[in-house]
Amino acid sequence: MDLPRTIVDAAAVLRRREASSRELTEAALERVARDPHNAWLTRAEANALAQADAADLRLAAGEAPLLCGVPWACKDIIGTKGVETTAGSRILKGYVPPYSATVVDRLDASGAVMLGKTNLDEFAMGSSNENSAFGAVTNPWDHGRVPGGSSGGSAVAVAAGQAVFALGTDTGGSIRQPAALCGVTGMKPTYGRVSRSGVVAFASSLDQVGPFAASVEDAAIICEALFGHDPLDATTLPLPAEDLRRELTAGVRGMRLGVPREYFVKGMEPGVEKAVRATLAVYAELGAELVEVSLPSTDRGLAVYYVLQPAEASANLARYDGVRFGLRVEGPDLVETYRRTRGAGFGPEVKRRIILGTYALSAGYYDAYYGQAQKVRTVIKREFDAVFQKVDALLTPTSPGVAFVLGAKANDPLAMYLNDIYTLPVNIAGLPGISIPCGLSEGLPVGLQIIANSYREATLFRVAAAYERATEHHRSRPPAALGQRAAA
């Protein structure tokens, strides 16, 4: 049977008794088993079927949340009790957590059915999903191209119709960028909205869990299940539960939407700019006032990010020492055991960032690099604060280009890092952002990024939903045959 595209569709199918959760789950697992994109690292078949049967009992009783019985995919950096969690790294191969991340517990409580764990760049370090220790993921729109990263497996699972929704993590664009490159919706919440407890730490002041989905409404539904204070994560705030869908049909007439001039610069592919400019015209037709704004420190964001993020990664990854869990490569003494374990367990990109971060934190360089980057981070946040005094939300490209050919940037780290130039300022400032499909360029998806002020997720969804209702881009799907490009 065909898997419903959206959570809303799946919920309707389940409640009309047109299919059971077990039937949907079996259909999804069959698709996962045939996955040609290397999007999955672990299939949790027995666990999924048990959850589906439990969901069917709840549905039969007539009192079940909207997510109950809906199959979903989990990025393999998010801890899952009893199910291997590798973070895409050899150093965690075979590691089975004794408890689940809070976000998994919350979806379990809603009755959602976890199909398994999806592939990613190792420890979420990458923009192409080529850095996984378990092989690259390929884009369902073109098998020879990347899906984006680091949450490429989760983006592909939704784009290819293998799961109704998925979770990813976003440290500098790792949800929004693969969402754009795979033609789905991907959303990063405000920092502190979602618990990071049980999520393998990368850069703790930047990481945030968020959803991939086939619609804006679905993303809002997932966020309603995930948001909320968690005593296990001190960064989460005790905010009241919120109806994030309350403004979905309000439209944008009368809203002021900012267009940052620094986001339309040399280096953006012409087809991407054309699609985004056409999207701005749609918003104007819908009654929004488009306002040119300036975020002058945008060009400093890349440098700030690649000081802060490796520094925090260096500290977080120090725990992988071959002593407590994960891979252990014996040496003649403790120091040599550390060296051999980390040398064999970490991939090249992870080693590169550990070295960069350790240098930035070292004596004599801390103030010059890490301390200075924190000061510029404050400047970037204040610039966003000032802009949001004038506009309700910002409209930007998600990525400067469409999905690139596998291996094209593998030997040029700076070119790879530039893929996140439009997304990482959002993490630096702790803001919510969403990427929605806004067209095709050369037959490949283009994403529009919408940014709102902190804790204004309802506004974010309102602006995104208005465009979704006015266009059909979110309905586009990858061509059925591998390697066959969609028509522009």
* Residue tagged active-site, from 20, 127, 128, 150: 150
145-169 residue pLDDT tens: 999 999 999 999 999 999 999 999 9
Within 10 angstroms of residue 244's Cβ, the number of other Cβ atoms is 22
Say what the pLDDT of residue 486 is: 39
pLDDT band at 481 (very low <50, low <70, confident <90, very high): very low
pTM, full prediction: 0.95
How many other C-beta atoms lie within 10 A of the C-beta of residue 321?
A: 18
What percentage of the chain has pLDDT greater than the value 70? 98
**Using CA atoms in the order 398, 454, 154, 441, what is the torsion angle rounded to 10 degrees?**
-10
Query: Is 483 a residue whose pLDDT tops 60?
Result: no
Give the model's confidence band at 186: pLDDT under 50 very low, under 70 low, under 90 confident, else very high: very high
Which two three-digit tokens encode residue 487? 């028509």
CATH of 7-255, picked from 3.90.600.10, 3.40.50.970, 3.90.1300.10, 3.60.15.10, is 3.90.1300.10
Q: Is the pLDDT of residue 488 over 50?
A: no
| pLDDT at residue 130 greater than cutoff 50 | yes
Residue 485 clears pLDDT 80, i.e. is over it: no
Instruction: Single out the catalytic residue among 75, 117, 188, 409.
Output: 75
- Name the active-site residue from 21, 127, 174, 195: 174
CA distance 214 to 166: 10
Place 341 in a pLDDT band, splitting at 50, 70 and 90: very high
Neighbours of 111 (CB within 10 A): 23
75 is a catalytic site residue: yes
Is the link from the previous residue into 454 a cis peptide, with omega within 30 of 0? no
Q: From CA 358, how far away is CA 305, in angstroms rounded?
A: 15
Task: Work out the average pLDDT over 99-125.
Answer: 98
pLDDT on residue 278: 98
Mean per-residue pLDDT, 383-398: 98
Cα separation, 173 vs 318, whole angstroms: 24
480 pLDDT more than 70: no
Looking at 339-469, which runs of residues are DSSP E strands?
393-397, 433-441, 444-451
How confident is the model over 70-87, as a mean pLDDT? 98
Confidence check: pLDDT of 75 > 70: yes
Q: Please give the mean pLDDT across all residues of the chain.
A: 95
Task: Say if CB 131 and CB 195 are below 8 A apart.
Answer: no
Predicted local distance difference test score (pLDDT) of residue 411: 83
Give the model confidence (pLDDT) of 282-328 as tens digits: 999 999 999 999 999 998 999 999 999 999 999 999 999 999 889 99
- The CA distance from 226 to 210, in Å, is 8
Which run of H or of E encompasses 416?
helix 413-417
**For 34-182, where are the alpha helices, taking DSSP H only?**
45-61, 102-110, 152-159, 176-182
* Listed range (127-136, 381-390, 444-453, 472-481) with the worst mean pLDDT: 472-481
Q: Which residues pair with 166 in a beta bridge?
A: 73, 212
Q: Is 150 a catalytic residue?
A: yes
Rounded mean pLDDT, 236-260: 96
pLDDT score for 487:
36
Return the domain boundaries, the chain. 7-255
pLDDT bucket at 339, cuts 50 / 70 / 90: very high
Are residues 110 and 67 in contact, defined by beta-carbon separation less than 8 angstroms? yes
Cα 55 from Cα 204, distance rounded (Å): 34
Query: How much is the pLDDT for 482?
Result: 39
Other Cβ atoms within 10 Å of 116 Cβ, number: 28
pLDDT over 60 (residue 399): yes
Following DSSP, what letter does each residue of 60-95 receive, concatenated?
A: HHT---TTTT-EEEEETTB-BTTB---TT-GGGTT-
- Position 210 scores a pLDDT of 98
The H or E element that residue 277 is part of is helix 270-285
Which residues are CB-contacts of 16 (< 8 A; sequence separation ≥ 6)? Answer: none
